[in-house]
Chain A
Amino acid sequence: MSTDAAVMQFEVRPEPGPGKKLLPDGVMGMVIFVFTEVMLFAGLISAHTIVRSRAAGEMWPPYGQPRLPLEETAINTAALLLSAVVIFFAQRAFRRGVGSARWTFLASIVLGIFFVASQGMEWAALLGEGLTMQSSAYGGFFYLIVGTHALHAVAAMLGMVWAWLRMSKGTLTQSQFSTVQVFWYFVVLVWPVLYWKVYL
């Protein structure tokens, strides 16, 4: 057996260089933050599931409580999902340096504002019909879960408006756009789960 044959050949993978980053810092930070937010919503959904299961054999929503507007919220959900699609194309256009990115991004923000405003009007109507935090566990969970999501949506809107203003001035970086985009995707993607668990 020759010496060469006895020596095993290894391909040594070089260590990543000091300047090499898998993700920009902002995006990585946002991903970690989104993890914690996912767990927050998971806890809320779990609590809701358990409380609802206690009402097995009884009415849910409880007797005397108004029904949630499924159809109107379905339209809002569609607007929210469309917003995520639009921001995807805005990001692609922004990466290629296309000027239309600004208007595509604005369209995404407008769809998000439509969602938040529609949800606000829905809340006002439900409050008028007697569904409050104190009226039942049903009302308490509805306002807690949907309200927490609404807070996130408003925060994301503020971030997107900030990013859009920077984009208009030409000072927005790709990393900043991606950071805002990750948070918006979280807000959009968690909503269908909430709709399914709370509304249906």
Chain B
Amino acid sequence: MWVVALALVALALLPEPGFACPVCFDPNDEHRQAFLATAIFMTVLPLGMVGGVGIWLRKRLRRLDDEEAPPEPPANDPS
């Protein structure tokens, strides 16, 4: 009996936070799309920035390594 009561309470309370999500239930389609677009934008932007700088720093490190590496001797050099 208490399980049924708990289920009824849960059914009564849980939809409220669900409907509070404007992305899922906003009847205005443009508004919903704006939420989705900005959520994607705010998620991808920091990852893109950090990733971009990471790749750039890695390339820069390799370039510095290549510049500092001693030149290879010629192939027919007897020494």
Interface residues of A (CB under 8 A from B): 13-14, 16, 20, 22-23, 31, 35, 38-39, 42-43, 45-46, 49-50, 52-54, 56
Q: A22 to B33, Cβ gap below 8 A?
A: no
SS class of chain B's interface: helix, strand, loop or mixed?
helix
Q: A53 to B28, Cβ gap below 8 A?
A: yes
Query: What residues of A have a CB within 8 angstroms of the CB of B57 in the complex?
Result: 22-23
Q: In angstroms, how far is the closest chain A Cβ from the Cβ of B64? A: 7
Q: B45 to A38, Cβ gap below 8 A?
A: yes
- Of A38, A39, A46, the most chain B CB neighbours within 10 A belong to A46
SS class of chain A's interface: helix, strand, loop or mixed?
helix
Interface size on B, as a range, is 20 to 34
Complex-state Cα separation, A16 to B34, whole angstroms: 46
Query: What residues of B have a CB within 8 angstroms of the CB of A45 in the complex?
Result: 38, 41
Tell me how many residue pairs across A and B have CB atoms closer than 8 Å: 45
Q: B45 to A22, Cβ gap below 8 A?
A: no
Q: A43 to B31, Cβ gap below 8 A?
A: no
Q: A49 to B38, Cβ gap below 8 A?
A: yes
Query: What residues of A have a CB within 8 angstroms of the CB of B30 in the complex?
Result: 53, 56
Query: What residues of A have a CB within 8 angstroms of the CB of B65 in the complex?
Result: 13-14
The 4 nearest A-B residue pairs measured at CB: A53-B34, A46-B38, A56-B30, A53-B31
